[in-house]
Structure 1
Amino acid sequence: MPVASMTGFARTEGEAAGAALVWELRSVNGKGLDLRLRLPPGFDALEPEIRRLAAARLSRGNLQISLQLRGASAPGSIAVNEDVLARFVALADELVRGGHAVQPSADGLLALRGVIESGESASATAPEEPLRQAALHAFGGALDALVAARAAEGARLAEALGLRLDEMEALASAAEADPSRSAGAIAERLRAQVGALLSAGTPVDEARLAQEAAILATKADIREELDRLSAHIAAARALLAAEGPVGRKLDFLSQEFNRESNTICSKSNSSSLTRTGLELKVVIDQFREQVQNIE
């Protein structure tokens, strides 16, 4: 499976046993796989299998799963439970004859618990097994649609991340070519600084100047950071081309990118190299922000 996003949405509709089944699946970022289900009464038995199917296809993300059941007697229709109503009427007559109550009104009787049954409760509280199995089969189609949506978003993210890696490579090359890194440039700056501190007629010991310049050049050397940065970029490209979930590994590489850019900035001995390092940090932040969406 190519790089996938943790963000996606799927909605599928189907029919079974005279009822319409509507699945809605919404997925957003998450550290792990967190499923929240909202099923009609009588469909709770499907939850373990739904969780198993989802875990087999997805590894990360906060997933909201809902099933709506619509049928001829579902939402909008009502039914009167005549047995319950008859018992309430008989009890009311007995109380009225005993002088303990007044004759109840029709709306009062209909408002009593159990007298009115909605079509939704009548059809969903005890669904037939074929209807449950049809709902489970329809969930498989909704899960397929969600996986496809996350893959499509993942492809767009992978392309954007590749562009960020290109920018990192270009900035690393600019840092490597920065003229301030050369020993000659460091010696020239050091000569100017020493000359400003000494009197105009005092000579500068060139041998000592060269020694100090070499020490400063060693401290300011970013060769090791650039090599590690190059290795991390290559590793990130390999992950984007790999199969399976790679979000956690890319997030770790983002932290490594940031560590190298911080060191480059701290070792900088010129405004041009500092500017390159700061630009690199901006691109790395953009990279890491997008990585948070990768499964």
Structure 2
Amino acid sequence: MSYSMTGYGQSALEYGGHKITFEVKSVNNRYCEVVLRLPREWTGYEDRLRRMVQAHIRRGRVDVIINRELTDGAADTHVLDRRRVSSYLDAAEVLVREYGFKGELSLRDILAMPGVMEPKEETAVADSSGELADLLEQGLQLGLEALLEMRGREGSYLAADLTHRLDRLEELHAGISRYAPLVVEEQREKLRQRLNLLNDGSFPWDEHKFGMEMAIFADRCNIDEELTRLHSHFGQCRALLLGSEPAGRKLDFLIQEMNRETNTIGSKCSHLAVVNLTLDMKAELEKIREQAANLE
């Protein structure tokens, strides 16, 4: 199954008089990057939570935001750190006196500063049994499941679109395959007509040399190998879209290879119909590249 790199999931649980909310969102990224934002006193759980995310996500930037708020009727579990407030105020006074800064700190500013409101001691040690750690993992797991569901749904749409565009590429490939054998025949006829027009009887007609020239031309414009490799790449792309492994990077590589083969066909074969078909193929490959960039 193909997964998109973009998605969103959320969940919420209650613990110790708090409502703990989990937001998990992901966007495109070349690698797997996990960014966690959670209350300062819970930073000790970062590693295990990050490993949980990495076990489910192979590619993309994933932001995990964990917040907590008191439930209705719950007793306040924070106390004011007076010493920290005093240090902030002293620092502000130094900035005004020695550096010339202007302005005043409001109550809102003070309360928003890190460490001003500290959890009570009993709250900080309430996880001695590991109950909070298990709850954080449970909440994150629920958020990840919602995220993966959205990524899977979006990935199925992308896979369907890419499959449709691969069908179009195969149609163009079939058209080129039909015209390829005609290139040498048309060139033979054109060259013979030109020679007949130029032949005023002053030079003999050499069928052997003519045949050699046509053999060289046929070898130079032969695109059988490129068409075979393109057909193989189409099959590999379809297999990746149907497989269970992340397909984004491999698809990107195959698209580059298909572009290379298409450019080679266009440079080898000067037949107008073939050139037009290769241009259509390059345009379709660009659309595929843009869509594949969203896959995990």
- Paired position in structure 2 for 1:158: 159
Deviates more, 1:185-194 or 1:58-67: 185-194
Q: Find the aligned partners of 2:176 and 2:142 in 1 and give their Cα distance.
A: 51
Change (3 A) 1:17 1:67: same
- Paired position in structure 1 for 2:237: 236
Provide the alpha-carbon RMSD of the alignment: 3.5
- TM-score, structure 1 as length reference: 0.79
| Displacement after TM superposition at 1:57 (Å) | 0.9
Q: Find the aligned partners of 2:16 and 2:32 in 1 and give their Cα distance.
A: 33
Maintained 8 Å contact 1:180/1:270:
no
Q: Find the aligned partners of 2:159 and 2:109 in 1 and give their Cα distance.
A: 59
Matches within 5 A, 1:215-254: 215-254=216-255
Unaligned runs of 5+ in 2: 87-104
Amino acid at match of 1:260: E
Amino acid at match of 2:159: A
Q: Find the aligned partners of 1:286 and 1:178 in 2 and give their Cα distance.
A: 25
Secondary structure of the structure 2 residue equivalent to 1:178:
helix
Maintained 8 Å contact 2:82/2:116:
no
Deviates more, 1:148-157 or 1:210-219: 210-219
- Paired position in structure 1 for 2:126: 128
Amino acid at match of 2:18: A
- TM-score, structure 2 as length reference: 0.79
Q: Find the aligned partners of 1:243 and 1:34 in 2 and give their Cα distance.
A: 21
User: How many equivalent residue pairs?
Assistant: 269
Amino acid at match of 1:153: E
Matches within 5 A, 1:258-269: 258-269=259-270
Amino acid at match of 1:253: L
- Larger Rg, first or second structure (1 or 2): 1
- Paired position in structure 2 for 1:102: none
Change (3 A) 1:79 1:5: closer
| Displacement after TM superposition at 1:250 (Å) | 1.4
Maintained 8 Å contact 2:79/2:118:
no
Maintained 8 Å contact 1:180/1:186:
no
Matches within 5 A, 1:85-124: 121-122=118-119
Maintained 8 Å contact 1:195/1:204:
no
Maintained 8 Å contact 2:38/2:67:
yes
- Paired position in structure 1 for 2:7: 8
Maintained 8 Å contact 2:110/2:116:
no
Q: Find the aligned partners of 1:191 and 1:17 in 2 and give their Cα distance.
A: 93
Secondary structure of the structure 2 residue equivalent to 1:59:
coil
Q: Find the aligned partners of 1:219 and 1:123 in 2 and give their Cα distance.
A: 81
Change (3 A) 1:267 1:139: same
Change (3 A) 1:206 1:264: same
Unaligned runs of 5+ in 1: 89-107
Amino acid at match of 1:185: E
Maintained 8 Å contact 2:3/2:295:
yes
Amino acid at match of 2:69: R
Matches within 5 A, 1:1-295: 2-72=1-71, 81=80, 84=82, 121-122=118-119, 126=124, 128-129=126-127, 130-178=131-179, 181-194=182-195, 198=198, 205-295=206-296
Amino acid at match of 2:165: R
| Displacement after TM superposition at 1:79 (Å) | 7.8
Change (3 A) 1:289 1:178: same
Maintained 8 Å contact 1:17/1:131:
no
